[in-house]
A = this chain, B = another copy of it.
């Protein structure tokens, strides 16, 4: 995008590959591992950068050299774990079955012992950190899109009313999920997933 700039070639990464000491990958991993470990048994209490650096046996500046803010580290640590949990949704041909499976998977993944308190902590931090909130939103967007497509398939098959508001249904799923997940006053179990899927399909079927 900068071919018109004669200095671009000089600044391009290939022009002068690297000099000086190389990045320490062990430190990089140690930071992510420390962050995830601290998040995992933090149970909602904030995790400090000092604690992460100390646990990783690393200087604070090394953390800030590779991440712009505390939130970025936390989210990176979380996605590092969550990426392994993403699974494609099966297409059984029944909206209600697909939806129930999607919701149940979401509930289960969030409540895995290693993930749960990490996720809770990050969301709580995001409530006060606009930058982290934005990162979170792109993080959740993929899941929202997947659900939206699942619903669109069902609507095309005639299992939902043509005028159904898919965005609203998506928000009903994630609204309930976050509400119960963060407050913890009621279960996010298979029964809840089943009932939620039933309500949403029955309440929006072709009239």
A22 CB within 8 Å of chain B = no
Within the complex, what minimum Cβ distance (angstroms) separates A104 from chain B? 14
Q: Is the interface of A mostly helix, strand, loop or mixed?
A: helix
Within the complex, what minimum Cβ distance (angstroms) separates A46 from chain B? 7
Q: How large is the interface on A (under 10, 10 to 19, 20 to 34, 35 or more residues)?
A: 35 or more
Apart from A165-B192, A168-B195, list 9 A-B contacts with CB within 8 A: A46-B128, A124-B127, A127-B128, A127-B182, A165-B195, A171-B179, A179-B179, A199-B204, A202-B204
Count of this chain's copies in the oligomeric assembly? 2
State the A residues within 8 Å of B (CB): 44, 46, 123-125, 127-128, 130, 137, 165, 167-169, 171-172, 174-180, 182-183, 185-186, 192, 195-196, 198-204
Q: Are the C-beta atoms of A172 and B196 separated by less than 8 Å?
A: yes
A127, closest chain B residue (CB): B127
In the bound assembly, the distance between CA atoms of A132 and B185 in angstroms comes to 16
Most B Cβ at <10 Å: residue of A180, A185, A199: A199
A-B contact pairs, 16 of them (CB 8 A): A46-B128, A123-B127, A124-B128, A137-B183, A168-B186, A168-B192, A171-B186, A172-B172, A175-B175, A175-B179, A175-B180, A178-B178, A178-B179, A198-B203, A199-B199, A200-B203
